[in-house]
Structure 1
Amino acid sequence: MNFSTELIFDITIIMITATLIAGVVLGSIALFRILATLKLRNKMLQQATRPYIFCQRNHQQLEIRNNGQVPIKIDAFDSQIDLTTLIGKVLPAGQTFLYRIDESSQFTITVKYHDQITNYTDSFNI
């Protein structure tokens, strides 16, 4: 082989190497952006579909409502009234438990509950 043929081969090898390096770098950047986008999407989905429990007084009844999009299971109550009958119950999305209470009493309820992914705790002044 003469000098010009070797020079063409060397230039071709350098261009192929540079193209491969640029491809690997750009591919890595794209993968990291995809990973960040997927994490953000998962976080947004979890926030949009998480359960939101709501407790309020409705005349002589305590209303415990699941305002979220997924069913929850009630793990524990911390309150002055006895709500042990509701522990372990599943509360579907949009459903309500009604519990009879004395209208004049003021109290605080702390509810521990979970869905299939996460445990939650909320407190309410009733």
Structure 2
Amino acid sequence: VLMDPHTGEVLSMAGKKIVKDKDTGQSQMQDDALGNITTTYNVGSAVKGATILTGYKTGAINPGTVFYDRPLKIKVTPVKKSWRNFGPLNDINALKFSSNVYMFETVINIGGGKYEFEKP
């Protein structure tokens, strides 16, 4: 989907998907423009840039803010962690390495909270 960032006007909607031909088993590409409105996907790391920007705009973080990337234990929830423990990370490296923990710490700050490790 291509939109005008100033007005929100939809300029174009296009899509393709790869499917297997039932007869030959070969992969082929098909038009799937309607997939723009009929298909859903988890947003995943695409939201991380928006999280950092929101942190800047709210004053929750500043460019260069460092958080220590390690597993977080928040009461009555599963452990929250990145795909590996990165140690100290600034905002740029948090985006570069796709740190989940940096995003959790940023959101906690946006909400005015303070993370404290929950002991078992």
TM-score normalised according to structure 1 size: 0.22
In proportion to residue count, which structure has more strand? 1
In proportion to residue count, which structure has more helix? 1
**Greater radius of gyration (CA):** 1
